[in-house]
């Protein structure tokens, strides 16, 4: 017997107090989510990674998604706004059911094992997540069932026989126009594949439930056209518009339990399992305590401000997900950042071809912040990034060792009095707005505009470009200091201006780089004597701190392999490793070193 939405809500209220009395749904009527201006202004920034499918171990692309989302969260904290980051694992579906069968262990045990590896990877990469959601959790299952009831009660779900090309790997059906015939190079057999993903598909006929996706096409197009920057980069926004304009078919949203038993049962039909993508996408709502809405203002953070996803799951997040939300009368996420993939030697990474990168090993080999810097600097938003071990080393060395580290060492040369330079120019002379020499004025102007240039790139969801703006200030400061050559000036008071401007460059870029390399930048700012309460974005201006430079704490290389040193260390069993370990902030330099 079918359970109505009203009956379901009453049952939940009786068993778990899931829905407050004033939030109980009215049959066949939906209340649109709204929020007043005051609540909106206090809303935390909510950023999510995709939840990662646990049919296999994490790869470098998973790490890249995590780090991108972490930088977006940390940047908001730098700006002084509360921010929340969600990540987790997608644990239902045919691929996981089959993987567990191959491993000869129950699906739940298989998921527990792989989910722990993703959680450990996030910890290893210093990803500051607030939620780690697993779709196998009871709370998530209850929320998904509630969503099913709301969609069904609103008339968006119907049962019908479905036939079409189905990809087990992608967990989705594809239309005839999205299928191509190819010859398997190994077996020589002809097979059908998805043009979009190149995955094998098979013809399937079965009775299941459908979501009226086609009926929402006009509302989707209206939403897209009202939010022109909704998808980053712009090229993928255009792809989504074209796909919807070409027509949408209704979406099959269940599978027979006789074929797929590892998943959430359809609450009104025990013979069917809810489609994995309807289940998985709901995770972004589960963290908001949905469906116990409206939540208290202090915990209200829907809609998500940014979903970070790989380009291969764009259709699910940019068409299916907003369609589900519109059908529920809930606001879609505000932005979607779709990043490109990582290749090796310009070829797609694959374990079968031996060119996959183990992210945990890479973090151990190069150090956390070194790998974070490389992935963020070289990773692609629009175009694929090509992973190269040698480039990990050279990129970090150029930017952080020879660039920022060298600059930090130079300003602490034994001939210079950094504290005096800070006191003199920040407190006494810059306050008089005196005319600076042309080279100094030009560099002063560069330092003043760098934070805003980086902020604009972050607002546009291009962390890679923001990082390059910040590093440009580092490179230009090294050129300025080289030209000024304060080590060759005999009068100490004439050394102070170039030393001060260079120190400000280290301090400002150190503040701006905190979201990208939180460990190394803490070490750098500690070494400059910058107080913990003067490391916000508002302090990243020339003259923004007048009290640093007097106390310098240098963390020496301890040789314990924790990624704290620069150069070549010795790994386990005495083997030399290619580890970028070491102190980014080197000991005080002899005057004129690295000239």
Does residue 6 register a pLDDT over 70? no
Residue 129 lies in a domain: no
State the pTM of this model: 0.83
pLDDT-derived band of residue 465, with 50, 70 and 90 as boundaries? very high
Distance CA 230, CA 287 (A): 22
Structural domain containing residue 393 = 371-574
Please, which pLDDT band fits residue 171 given cuts at 50, 70 and 90? low
- Which pLDDT score, from 0 to 100, does residue 518 have? 97
Output the DSSP codes for 489-553.
-SSHHHHHHHHHHHHHHHHHHHHHTTTTSHHHHHHHHHHHT--GGG-SGGG-STTS-SS-SS---
User: What is the secondary structure of 223-243 as a DSSP string?
Assistant: HHHH-TTSEESHHHHHHHHHH
β partners of residue 172: 167
Residue whose token pair is 């920057």: 229
Q: 257 by DSSP, 3-state: which?
A: coil
**CATH assignment of the domain containing 482:** 1.10.730.10
DSSP string of 411-448?
HT-TT--HHHHHIIIIIIIGGGTPPPPHHHHHHHHHHH
Closest CA to 371 of 75, 594, 70: 70
In a domain, 405, yes or no: yes
188 is a domain residue: no
Q: Is 279 within the bounds of a domain? A: no
For 104, other C-beta atoms within 10 Å of its C-beta total: 7
pLDDT digits (tens, 9 = 90+) for 530-571: 999 999 999 999 999 988 987 444 444 433 333 333 332 223
> At CB < 8 A and 24+ separation, what contacts does 100-109 make?
100/262, 107/262, 108/136
Model confidence band, residue 5 (pLDDT cutoffs 50, 70, 90) = very low
In a domain, residue 310? The reply is no
CA-closest candidate to residue 132, choices 44, 61, 52: 52
Task: Report the pLDDT value the prediction gives residue 419, as an integer from 0 to 100.
Answer: 87
Is 421 inside any structural domain? yes
Alpha-carbon distances, residue 246 vs 193, 235, 239, 321 (angstroms): 21, 17, 11, 18
Q: Who has greater pLDDT, 173 or 37?
A: 173
Token readout for 137 is: 């959790």
Name residues whose C-beta falls within 8 Å of residue 398's C-beta, 6 or more positions apart in sequence. none
Mean pLDDT of the 508-516 span = 98
Domain count, the chain: 1
How distant is the alpha carbon of residue 457 from its chain centre?
A: 15
Q: Would 21 be classed as within a structural domain?
A: no
For residue 249, CA distances in Å to 21, 51, 174, 216, 252 come to 37, 25, 10, 10, 9
Q: Which of 281-295, 307-321, 322-336 has the lowest mean pLDDT?
A: 281-295
The answer to whether position 491 is within a domain reads yes
Q: Which tens digit of pLDDT belongs to each residue from 282-294?
A: 999 988 888 876 6
Tell me the pLDDT tens digit for each residue of 88-106: 999 998 889 988 999 999 9
Between the alpha carbon of residue 50 and those of residues 85, 88, 133, 340, 584, the distances in Å are 11, 8, 11, 14, 32
Strands (DSSP E) found in 148-234: 157-167, 172-174, 179-183, 190-194, 202-211, 231-232
């Amino acid at each position: 017997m079918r359970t109505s939405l009203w009956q379901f809500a009453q049952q939940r209220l009786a068993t778990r107090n899931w829905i407050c009395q004033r939030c109980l749904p009215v049959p066949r009527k939906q209340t649109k989510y709204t929020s007043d201006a005051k609540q909106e202004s206090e809303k935390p920034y909510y950023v999510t990674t995709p939840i990662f499918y646990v049919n296999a171990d994490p790869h470098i692309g998973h790490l890249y998604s995590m780090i991108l989302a972490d930088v977006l969260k940390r940047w908001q904290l730098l700006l002084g706004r509360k921010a929340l980051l969600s990540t987790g694992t997608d644990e239902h579906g045919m691929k996981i059911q089959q993987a567990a069968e191959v491993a000869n262990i129950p699906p739940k045990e298989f998921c527990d094992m792989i989910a722990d590896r993703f959680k450990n990877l996030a910890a290893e990469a210093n990803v500051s997540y607030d939620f780690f959601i697993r779709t196998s959790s009871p709370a998530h299952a209850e929320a998904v069932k509630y969503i099913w009831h709301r969609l069904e009660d609103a008339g968006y779900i119907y049962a019908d026989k479905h036939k079409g090309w189905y990809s087990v790997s992608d967990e989705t059906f594809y239309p005839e126009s999205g299928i191509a015939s190819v010859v398997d190079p190994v077996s020589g057999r002809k097979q059908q594949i998805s043009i979009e993903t190149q995955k094998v598909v098979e013809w399937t006929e079965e009775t299941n439930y459908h979501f009226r996706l086609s009926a929402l096409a006009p509302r989707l197009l209206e939403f897209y056209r009202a939010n022109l920057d909704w998808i980053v980069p712009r090229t993928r926004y255009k792809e989504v518009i074209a796909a919807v304009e070409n027509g949408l078919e209704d979406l099959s949203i269940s599978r027979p339990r006789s074929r797929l038993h590892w998943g959430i049962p359809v609450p009104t039909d025990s013979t069917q399992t809810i489609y994995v993508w309807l289940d998985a996408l709901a995770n972004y709502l589960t963290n908001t305590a949905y469906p116990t809405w409206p939540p208290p203002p202090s915990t209200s953070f829907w809609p998500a401000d940014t979903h970070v996803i790989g380009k291969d799951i764009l259709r699910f997040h940019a068409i299916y997900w907003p369609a589900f939300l519109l059908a529920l009368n809930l606001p879609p996420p505000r932005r979607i950042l779709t990043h490109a993939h990582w290749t090796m030697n310009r070829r797609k990474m694959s374990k079968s071809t031996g060119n996959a990168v183990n992210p945990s090993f890479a973090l151990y080999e190069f150090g956390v912040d070194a790998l974070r810097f490389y992935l963020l600097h070289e990773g692609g938003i629009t175009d694929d990034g090509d992973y190269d071990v040698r480039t990990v080393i050279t990129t970090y060395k150029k930017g952080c060792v020879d660039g920022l580290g060298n600059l930090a060492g130079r300003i602490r040369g034994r001939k210079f009095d950094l504290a005096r330079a800070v006191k003199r120019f920040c407190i006494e002379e810059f306050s008089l707005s005196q005319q600076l020499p042309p080279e100094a004025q030009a560099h002063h102007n560069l330092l003043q505009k760098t934070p805003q240039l980086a902020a604009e790139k972050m607002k546009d969801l291009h962390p890679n470009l923001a990082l390059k703006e910040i590093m440009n200030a580092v490179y230009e400061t090294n050129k300025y200091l080289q030209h000024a050559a304060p080590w060759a000036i005999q009068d100490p008071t004439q050394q102070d201006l170039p030393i001060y401007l260079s120190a400000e460059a280290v301090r400002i870029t150190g503040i701006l780089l905190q979201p990208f390399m939180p460990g190394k930048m803490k070490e750098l700012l500690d070494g400059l004597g910058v107080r913990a309460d003067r490391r916000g974005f508002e302090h990243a201006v020339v003259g923004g701190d007048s009290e640093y430079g007097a106390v310098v704490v240098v963390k020496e290389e301890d040789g314990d392999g924790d990624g704290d040193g620069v150069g070549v260390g010795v790994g386990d069993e005495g083997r030399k490793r290619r580890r970028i370990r070491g102190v980014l902030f080197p000991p005080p330099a002899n005057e004129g070193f690295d000239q």
